[in-house]
Chains A and B, each alone.
Chain A
Amino acid sequence: MHRLLFFSAAAGSLLPPPPPMAALAISSCGRRALLVDDNVINRMVVRKLMEEQGIALEEAENGKEAVELVKEGRVFDLILMDREMPIMDGPQATKQLRSLGVTTPIVALSADAMQSDKDSFLQAGADDFVEKPLNIDKFALVLTKYGLQDGQADQ
């Protein structure tokens, strides 16, 4: 049986405005992540995945915003970086972050990227490549691999 959706009575009406770009969720373990993706719906889904894990999330709409956040002194335990974005794409942003001395794991996200695209992203300094869409299982694997799974952070 498919799980009931329980649409709200307000479904179909205008949504409240999305949270500000630098919104932080309350984290129980001090884990912080940065999501860099120009797609508002992708960000909504990943935001929920992060909330479920109690990870504080900041969001950037493109690579340039991500680099600026880091230059402002923000520190993250994980960066999820989309590939194709306006203004500055994922590989460019990754290269710049690495040149700034950022050693945070950067996980590249993309849908149906060619091998050459994946290679160039990894050569730019990304640690890993995950195919979109991000789902619960893929997300759990990423968190486990980089030590952000609930409980791992305390070890």
Chain B
Amino acid sequence: MTPTEELNSLMNWMFSEGLLDQQFQQLQMLQDASNPDFVSEVITLFCKDSEIILAELTKLLRDQPVVDFQKVDAYVHQLKGSSSSVGANNVKLACIHFRQFYEENNKEGCFSSLNAMEREYFRLKDKLGTMLQLEQRIQAYESSKHN
């Protein structure tokens, strides 16, 4: 399989598994010659932001004797918004699922939901990393063809 075929196969899989949705395609459509790094910039910021949020949620749920559910909700709301904006579908759904436990002030439920959110996020991040590597291989090949 060529890198291009591999990339297409990976992307198709990511969409069919719900890791990505149509919003990601919208980001791709916004990328052009004047801003060729737009998608990678958005994704990089999303990853950085998400990991900060997940770390803060872990602190709030695990390290505090009394859980500040308002702060927890604020963070989950942020992550839900970001994941929705980049097309990170399963992460977004995990955030929506999380909120039902917050509404019940259910600490254990929130914690297990946080684990699910982390799993989905890192699963997505891993595949985005693979996508990057394939892109770079394709770019390198295209550059060598023109030289």
Contact = CB atoms under 8 A, between A and B. Distances in A.
Interface of A: 1-13, 15, 38-42, 44-45, 48-49, 51-52, 84, 86, 111-112, 132-133, 135-136
Closest 10 CB pairs of A and B: A11-B40, A7-B40, A2-B11, A8-B37, A41-B82, A135-B26, A39-B81, A3-B28, A133-B85, A133-B84
Interface in B10-41: 11-12, 22-23, 25-31, 35-41
Interface of B: 4, 7-8, 11-12, 22-23, 25-31, 35-46, 48-49, 74, 77-78, 80-82, 84-87, 96, 131-132, 135-136, 138-139
A9 B84 contact: no
Nearest to A41: B82
Contacts of B135: 4-7
B36 A6 contact: yes
Contact of B26 (A6, A39, A41, A136): A136
B84 A111 contact: yes
A145 B85 CA distance: 23
25 contacts: A5-B31, A5-B131, A6-B36, A6-B37, A7-B39, A7-B131, A8-B37, A11-B37, A15-B44, A39-B82, A40-B45, A41-B81, A42-B85, A44-B42, A44-B45, A45-B30, A48-B35, A84-B77, A86-B74, A111-B80, A132-B81, A132-B85, A135-B26, A136-B26, A136-B30
Contacts of B31: 3, 5-6
Contacts of B44: 11-13, 15
